[in-house]
Chain A
Amino acid sequence: MRESDAWRTIARFARAHDVRGVLVAFALIAVCDAIFGSTVLQLPYTGGEAGVPFRRELPLAFASVAAASLSSPMRRFEETAAAAFRAAQHAWLGGVVTSAAVVLTVEELIISPPATAVILLRALLVWTGIALLSGRVFGWRLSFILPMASVFPLTYWQYDGQGRNRWWDWTHQPPMSLGCWAIAGAALAAGSLAVAVTPWRAARGRAHLAAALGRTRTVSPR
C-alpha cells in the first residue's frame, strides 16, 4: 500500500467513526473543564450534602466519548473477523484514548496542581475501562451508561465514618493511592477483555460451554 493510500484509508475510517463529533465533543469537554471545572456541585450524600468540584467527574465524559467512537454506520461490517479491521479498531481506540489523555493532562497541568492532573488521568483510565465494558454490553453508543452509574457511589457513599474518602474513591484519593491504581488496572483489563470478546468469540465460547455442559449431562445420570 502506498503512503497516500494509507492516509486515505485512515481518513475514511475516521470519517466513518464520526471523527468530527469526537473532536467537537473533546473541545467542548475541555472548554467546560476550563470554565466550570472549579464549580462545586452540591450533591446529596449519606450524611447530608457535600460539594464536589465538577472537574472531578469530567474524565467520565472523555472516556465515554472515546469508547462511543467505536460505533460506526458500518459496525455490522466491521464486526467481521477481518484482521485488518480489528487492527484498525485497536489503533483507532488507542489513538482516541491517548488524545483524550493528552488533552486532559495538559489542560489540568496548566490550570490545576500536578496532583489533580494525575488523579484525573487515573480517573480517565478507570472510566475508559468501564466505558468499554458498558459499550460491549449495551452497544458502543451507550458506553456512558456504566460510567454514569459509577458516579452515584462516588458522590453518595464516598465518605467513611471519620469523613475520609474511602480507598476506592478514585476521583479523590491521592495520586499514589495503590488501591485506586489497582482499580485502574482492573478496569482497563476488563475494558480490554470487553473489546476482545467479539460476537464470534462469544459465540465460540457459548458453543464450548454448551459442549462441556452437554458432556456432563450425558455423564451425570449414571
Chain B
Amino acid sequence: MTDQVAVGSKPRWQVEVPLLAATTLYGLVAYAAGTLVAAAVTVRQAGPGFLWPGYLLLGAGVVVLCASVGHLVGRWFPSGIAVPVIAGLSCFVALAAVGGPGALGFFVLSGAPYITVVPGALVARLVLAAAVAALAVFVPRPTGPVFRGASRILALCSVAVVLLAVVGVRAAGPVRELRAAPSSQLCTGTTPKICVWPEQRKYLPQFEAMANRAAALPAELIKSPASFHEQGLRGGGERDGDFSISEGSMWEAAVGIGMVIGNASEPRACEGANPAASEQRFQAMFEIDSWITARIAGGGQPADRHGGPPGVDQAEIARLVTTPEAHQIEWVKQRMQAIGDIHCA
C-alpha cells in the first residue's frame, strides 16, 4: 500500500517521463541499428566525411518528435489499436507533406557532399522535438483530475515553448545550405584529370580507370577538356558541365562527363530550319554522347540503370562499343557528318 500511495502522490509528469523515455528508446535503438549497419559497411572505405552527425541528429530529433506525438495521442485516447494508427499516420502525412528537404526540412533523402546541414536550423528542430516531448509529459488528459499550481504552470509553459519553437524553426530557415568549395580537391593523376570531393575518396580508382578510357578515345574525333569536376567542387552549387555521383553510380558520373566531351567534340551546329532538321541534329548528338558515355564507363548501360537521352537505343550502344575500333570511328563520323549537314534556319 505504501508503494501505491507513493506513486499516487507523485506529480503526473514523473510517471509520464519514464514511459515516453521507453518509447523513444525503442525508436532510437532501431535508428541506431540502421546507423551501425551503414557504418559497418562503409567504414573501411570511408573518407573524411564519414557519417555526418548533422543528418543523424536530424533523424534522432524526428524520432523524439514522433514518439512524443504518439505519447500525447495515447494519453488523450487510450486505445492500443487506434493510437499507433493516429500517431503513425498523422506523423507520416505531416512529414511527407511539409517535412521534406524543400519545405520544413525534418528529413532528407540523400546528402550530396556539396550540401551541408546548417547548425542553427538543426538546433531549432531539436528544440522543437524537445518542446513537444515536454508538452507530451506535462499536459494532462482533458478528462483527468483538475491540475493545480506547479503542474499548471509547467503545462502552460510547455505549450508556449512549443509555439516559440515552431516560430524558431521557421526563423532558422532551410536545414541545408550549399557548402563552400573545399580547400583541397582530390584529383586523379591522369590526363584528363577528374576531381572529386575528399568525401568521395573511395571512387578515385574507378575515376582513374575512367579517365584512362577517356584518354583512349580516338583522338581524330574527340577533343576532351583537360579536367572534370564533381558538382559543387568549384563553389556556387550545381553548374552545367559538372558531374554528380548519384547514389554511388559511376554510370551517372560517366553520363555527365560524356556529355561534356560530346559538346567539346561535336561540330558547332546551327539552329535547324525545321523541326525535322533540329531532330536530326539532336538525334546525332545524343547518339554520340551515349557512345562516349559507354566508352568511358567501360561498357553499356548497366541493368540497374534506365532512361537516358530520348531516341537512343542503349542496348545497341552497348553492342557498338564491343565492335572493332574502325567500325566505331566510322559510326561516329557518320553522325558528326549528319550534324554538319542539317538545313540551317
- A residues lining the B interface (CB < 8 Å): 18, 20-22, 24-25, 28-29, 32, 36, 39, 41-44, 46-49, 54, 61, 64-65, 68-69, 71, 141, 144, 159-163
Contacts and interface: CB of A to CB of B under 8 A. Distances in A.
Specify which of B82, B83, B93, B304 lies most central, judged by the most chain A CB atoms within 10 Å of its CB. Answer: B82
A65 B85 contact: yes
B100 A32 contact: no
B246 interface: yes
Interface of B: 77, 79-86, 88-89, 93, 96-97, 100, 109-110, 246-247, 249, 302-307
Contacts of A54: 93, 96
Specify which of B81, B84, B96, B247 lies most central, judged by the most chain A CB atoms within 10 Å of its CB. Answer: B81
B89 A162 contact: no
B97 A46 contact: no
Contacts, number: 81
A196 to B, nearest CB: 23
Contacts of B80: 18, 21, 68, 71, 141
A25 B6 CA distance: 36
Specify which of A25, A28, A36, A46 lies most central, judged by the most chain B CB atoms within 10 Å of its CB. Answer: A25
Specify which of A47, A54, A68 lies most central, judged by the most chain B CB atoms within 10 Å of its CB. Answer: A47
Nearest to B89: A32
Contacts of B246: 48
Contacts of B82: 18, 20-22, 24-25, 28
A43 B96 CA distance: 10
B237 to A, nearest CB: 19
Given A25-B85, A39-B97, A161 B79 contact: no
A29 B92 CA distance: 12
A47 B306 contact: yes
A36 B98 CA distance: 13
A43 B88 CA distance: 17
Contact of B304 (A36, A47, A64, A144): A47
Contacts of A25: 81-82, 85-86
A29 B246 CA distance: 35
A20 B81 CA distance: 9
A28 B85 CA distance: 8
Given A36-B93, A46-B304, A54-B96, A29 B79 contact: no
Given A28-B89, A36-B93, A68-B84, 6 more contacts: A28-B85, A29-B89, A61-B88, A144-B84, A161-B304, A163-B307
Nearest to B102: A42
A204 B139 CA distance: 50
Specify which of B83, B89, B109, B304 lies most central, judged by the most chain A CB atoms within 10 Å of its CB. Answer: B89
Contacts of B109: 42-44, 49
A64 B89 CA distance: 13
